[in-house]
Structure 1
Amino acid sequence: MTGRRAALRVCVTLLLTAVLPLSSSAQAPSEAVDLVLPRPLGAGETAVIEIRLGALARGQEVTVTTASGMLLGTVSPFGLRAGEDAGTYALPVPTDAIGGGRLTIRLSISQPGGSRAPTRQEVRSVTLKVAPRP
């Protein structure tokens, strides 16, 4: 997959997340993850959550919210081959969501009839990084 196509996929996901409301089924049990910034944000920098996904079933999505329930984004991989990793995705984090260099997020994965906490095979890693502001 080209870098341009991957960037477009992330942009479309973020746009849809901003436009579509969070469904009530996505409020089901989720896994809490505590993240720490590697260093304080400098001028012209922003925080980004990097999520590395393993194999997902067709149509599954990973929703990321803060511990207080603020939606940070939804990762909706498409064009996946059965059994292959879904890839790595980045979600920007509003500065006011981070307190004292720390952020607690909740992850949930969609499935027929609702959502559930992801397994370690579905969400391989979650990291809070510092990136240049776009």
Structure 2
Amino acid sequence: MTRQERRKVKATAAKTAALFARVCTDYGPDGQLTPVDHPKAVAALQRAFHRLLQNGGEPQVMRLTLAEAEAFPRKGADLKGAHPYLAVGLDPDVRGTYSLRHIYTPGAPADMAEMCNRNASLHHLRPHIRTRGFSAGPTTGGA
């Protein structure tokens, strides 16, 4: 993105992030595409997409609370000690894409675990932001 494009994106980041968050879908427990419509999930997506747009479209990761993660249609792994992370990025058509992962790093110091979890979240998001449109995969969605 050029500097001028980044400025324009930043100027409309809040509005665009809200739109991305409102139109996200995911696979529900029955395997069917389902809108992400729980207020906690939408709010988490909006915060993440806003950060993405404020940072020039660079993929972003944020740790969620368990309550926020449970608000998504696909609940994810119920692993004791696992932490939910939401990663967001833009696909080649500049559509918002997200990945929700529950990551467990047993025995690692807190700062090392946080770094590893963020990197693992970005690693899982990468193939989905390289795909045009909605990519079929567990605990991922698109806007």
Q: Which protein is richer in helix relative to its size?
A: 2
- With structure 1 as the length reference, what TM-score do the two structures score? 0.30
Q: Which protein is richer in strand relative to its size?
A: 1
- With structure 2 as the length reference, what TM-score do the two structures score? 0.29
